[in-house]
């Protein structure tokens, strides 16, 4: 197992463990209170599968769209660099005119 694979696995393991623990806790609480699950197990798993697939499709579409936009950007025109003598320095603001009565 290389370092990149290990890093990817560690980024996945913690959220997966938290999610599993939360689901186990909620399932235990529903069992202890005698409540039925709001949806059949199979239906819930199919819904989660749909969420996962939808997330993958949206991510792939977004990356493809951003890649396409970056590929079709018009090139910026290259301006010649001006030398220091050609660069115009703005004049400082002149002193404000005084009112004749002051």
31-55 b/e (C-beta count within 10 Å ≥ 16 → b): eeeeeeeeeeeeeeeeeeeeeeeee
Per-residue pLDDT tens over the stretch 14-39:
888 888 888 889 888 888 988 887 66
CA angle 45, 52, 63 (to 5 degrees): 170
Say how many domains are in the chain. 1
C-alpha torsion sign, points 67, 71, 74, 78? positive
For residue 39, give the DSSP letter. S
pLDDT cut 70: percent of the chain above it: 66
Q: Does any domain span residue 64? A: yes
Q: Does any domain span residue 2? A: no
Predicted TM-score (pTM) of the model is 0.40
Three-state DSSP class for 72?
A: coil
Q: Residue 56 sits in which domain range? A: 14-69
Q: Does any domain span residue 90? A: no
pLDDT at 76 over 80: no
Q: Does any domain span residue 59? A: yes
Q: Does any domain span residue 63? A: yes
Q: Does any domain span residue 89? A: no
Q: Does any domain span residue 35? A: yes
């Amino acid at each position: 197992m290389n370092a990149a694979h290990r890093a990817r696995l560690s980024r996945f393991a913690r959220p997966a463990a938290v999610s599993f623990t939360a689901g186990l806790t909620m399932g235990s609480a529903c069992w202890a209170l005698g409540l039925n699950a709001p949806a059949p197990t199979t239906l819930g798993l199919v819904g989660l599968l749909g969420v996962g697939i939808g997330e993958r499709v949206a991510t792939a579409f977004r990356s493809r769209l951003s890649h396409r936009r970056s590929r079709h950007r018009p090139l910026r025109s290259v301006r010649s660099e001006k030398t220091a003598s050609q660069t115009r320095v703005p004049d400082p603001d002149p002193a404000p005119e005084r009112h004749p009565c002051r």
